Amino acid sequence: MADNADNSFDLVILGGGSGGYACALRATQLGLRVAMVEKDKIGGTCLHRGCIPTKALLHAAEVADEARSGNTVGVKTTLEGIDMAAVNSYKDGVVGDLYKGLQGLVTSAGITVYEGEGHLVGTDAVQVGDQRLTGSFIVLATGSYARTLPGLDIGGRVMTSDQALTMDAVPRSVVIIGGSVIGVEFASVWRSFGADVTIVEALPHLVPLEDEVLSKQLERAFRRRGITFKLGAKFTELTQDDDSVTVVLDTGEKVQAEVCLVAVGRGPATDGLGYAEHGVSVDRGWVTTDERLHTSVPQVFAVGDVVPGLQLAHRGFGHGIFVAEEIAGRDPMPIVDTTIPRVTYCDPEVASVGLTEEQARQHYGDVDTFEYNLAGNGRSKILETSGVVKLVREKDGPIVGVHMIGSRMGEQVGEASLIVNWEAYPEDVAQFVHAHPTQTEGLGEAALALAGKPLHVHA
């Protein structure tokens, strides 16, 4: 390991987002001397421009919907309007409190933080301003940026999620290009706030990476909410003036709105940072690694959004812990994308872990599935939500996929993750008693049915 001379460390981490700071915290626990380089704020996209602020907006949207619908349960409420200044103050307060807590953790752990943009200048060296840091190991954790498409210039009435999070007024109408996670979450927020929303998605379904059952359920729910979407439609041209944007589709149809959100995914933030120049294999911007997150340079690792695969904060967090333990010789178990839980926090929420039915059939050939409709679930009835819990199992084998949609389903994905990661059989899950009335009973009911003893379902 590196000696304790100034600017010489056991581990130098480029990036202080979910992957970077998790790696730093775990590495210091394991006795390593750590430097972390961050050009913006510790916490990265997730804390400041992603997961946390968007979910704060989604909670405000949920409160708005509850105010509208109070009379349906005998509570006399009305929605007078949306005060975006107050909403943003609430959102920024949540982010600020979490940021202060994270800063305290990093400081108390004794992690040396360098502010500025770091560049890889050798297989064991990072340059930050006029300071050169050396490390026995380097971790690349520079995260991602909001992508756009050719012909979609960001500015004016055209924005990415970065600008959408800072809007000081609710737009009257929005066209969203992209119907995956970011697109449907903002669609959900803006519709709850009173905007007219149209989503344009080039693939055949919304949230196209999810099991088709969830996509179709979400599409039905969005129709009921008055959210318009155009599937299998591609953007070809966009124009804007002082009052509106006009999006032209490959069908010839035109969609006009006050603003346009470009939600076509995120790209790896690796350009110009010296990775390829110092032997790190990069493919179209992505840092290629083996299953143990080694890059092509033995002492250089990569974590989080720069590594091809799911772009989730908790994936980066898990990667960071894994790499710290790998460097410390703890021989941790590799993190596999299919075992990572996924949640889309629109209304209704979409939550899943493991293989879709289509993926399972490709992998195993023969599979069994069961779909439990939440119409039969007492808690869901109380919450006035609809949806489904779907289990996918290898034929006569363990459960390999759990797919759920409905109110608050993101809170149920923890049990789903345990089921898939511990390779539980339906019979294993069915023997456990689920509290009543809870939505987790949906998992229990589906397991009972797959185990051959359905209860609150028609045989």
> Beta partners for 287?
282
d(CA 178, CA 159): 13
Domain contains 224: yes
The pLDDT value recorded for residue 458 is 65
Identify whether residues 229 and 332 lie together within a single domain.
no
Q: Of residues 311 and 459, which shows the higher confidence score?
A: 311
CB–CB of 257/239 below 8 Å? Answer: no
Identify whether residues 130 and 219 lie together within a single domain.
no
Q: In CATH, what number is assigned to the domain containing residue 371?
A: 3.30.390.30
Count of C-beta atoms within a 10 Å radius of residue 335: 20
d(CA 456, CA 372): 9
With 50 as the cut, is the pLDDT of residue 364 above it? yes
Question: What is the mean pLDDT of the segment spanning 134-158?
Answer: 95
Identify whether residues 199 and 163 lie together within a single domain.
yes
Domain contains 458: no
Q: In CATH, what number is assigned to the domain containing residue 178?
A: 3.50.50.60
The pLDDT value recorded for residue 6 is 80
Domain contains 290: yes
For the whole model, what pTM was predicted?
A: 0.95
The pLDDT value recorded for residue 453 is 87
Domain boundaries, position 366: 348-450
Q: Mind giving me the DSSP string for 205-231?
A: SSSTTS-HHHHHHHHHHHHHHT-EEEE
Question: What is the mean pLDDT of the segment spanning 155-183?
Answer: 97
Identify whether residues 12 and 135 lie together within a single domain.
yes
Domain contains 343: no
The pLDDT value recorded for residue 459 is 56
Identify whether residues 187 and 123 lie together within a single domain.
no
Question: What is the mean pLDDT of the segment spanning 15-22?
Answer: 97
With 70 as the cut, is the pLDDT of residue 235 above it? yes
Task: Report the number of distinct structural domains present in the chain.
Answer: 3
d(CA 143, CA 271): 11
d(CA 393, CA 90): 43
Burial class (CB in 10 A: 0-12, 13-18, 19+), 113: middle
Q: What is the mean pLDDT of the chain?
A: 95
With 70 as the cut, is the pLDDT of residue 1 above it? no
The pLDDT value recorded for residue 221 is 97
Identify whether residues 213 and 359 lie together within a single domain.
no
Question: What is the mean pLDDT of the segment spanning 33-60?
Answer: 96
d(CA 343, CA 49): 17
The pLDDT value recorded for residue 5 is 54
Identify whether residues 278 and 254 lie together within a single domain.
no
| Percentage with pLDDT > 70 across the chain | 98
d(CA 376, CA 362): 31
Which residue in 119, 314, 436, 458 is the catalytic one? 436
Domain contains 163: yes
Tens of pLDDT, residues 150-168: 889 999 999 999 999 999 9
Active site residue 436: yes
